[in-house]
Amino acid sequence: MATETEPIAQPRVPLSRERVLHAAIAVADEGGIESLTMRKLAEELGVEAMSLYHHVANKEAVLDGIVDVMVGEVDEALADSDTPADPVEWKPTMRKRILTAREIMLRHPWAPGVIETRTAVSLVLMRYFNELLGILREGGFSYDLAHHALHALGSRALGFTQELFKPDGDTDEEADMAMLEQMADQLPYIVGMMMEVSHDADDDSSLGWCDDQAEFEFGLDLTLDGLERLVEAG
């Protein structure tokens, strides 16, 4: 009551690129990426929107900067975890790195969408890929195969995949199920798959039955195993 109802941001701390980027992440974490507007961002910082332009060129630069902070978070998480980093053991090293990156992406579900829209590759991101490349090279990959490997991993190298069947927001699973069964003639295989899975699973399973973590690891291991066979074949 005694204090003013201003946002929590301390008016003493001067604005900086760093503060702008971290505030942007906070806004996106709280309200989703579509809630991240220059005006909202300024409000979060207790400042007028136009003041932001003294620290970032424009909104695109904010999004570019956010990605770098995100990659930085991955690097930090990797530094915190005590990995032996055996040069020969490229597969577990790679696997761990990617699963760690995935943890960061799960903390910021909007981040993949931002990363996908970036056109330029920042130095920070190049350093990240340079390290992945290093792991592969030290593990016996030719440059050629390592290059193919990074392409084959694609966005998985950064810890996310494009989920085409997203979690159905309405969560009315029974209705979805009923609707699906009604279309059994049009979607016989999908309906068949769902019937089988819902009988097998012990918990209540329906459209929300995909175990994202398990699927991510399945796809990742499929790729890593395939690559391993290629390195070993020479």
Partner DNA sequence: ACCTGAACACCGTTCAAGT
The footprint of DNA (CB under 7 A) covers 14-15, 36-40, 47-51, 53-55, 58-60
What is the rounded distance in angstroms from the CA atom of residue 122 to the CA atom of residue 118? 9
Q: How far is the CB of 11 from DNA (least distance, A)?
A: 9
Residue 227's contacts (CB-CB under 8 Å, 6 or more residues apart) are 141, 145, 149, 152
Residue 37 binds which of DNA, its own copies, none (CB < 5-8 A, kind-dependent):
DNA
Q: How many CB atoms lie within 10 A of CB 23?
A: 24
CB atoms closer than 10 angstroms to residue 16: 11
Q: Which of 8, 80, 166, 234 binds its own copies (CB under 8 A)?
A: 166
What is the C-alpha to C-alpha distance for residues 94 and 224, in angstroms, rounded to an integer? 9
Q: Which of 18, 48, 168, 172 binds its own copies (CB under 8 A)?
A: 168
Write the binding mask 97 to 136 for its own copies: x where contact by CB under 8 A, - elsewhere. Answer: ----------------x-xxxxxxx-x-xxx-xxx-xx--
Helix-strand-coil split of the chain, %, nearest 5: 65, 0, 35
Residues that bind its own copies (CB under 8 A): 113, 115-121, 123, 125-127, 129-131, 133-134, 137, 143-144, 146-148, 151-152, 154-155, 157-158, 161-166, 168-169, 183, 186-190, 192-193, 196-197, 210, 215, 218-219, 222-223, 225-227
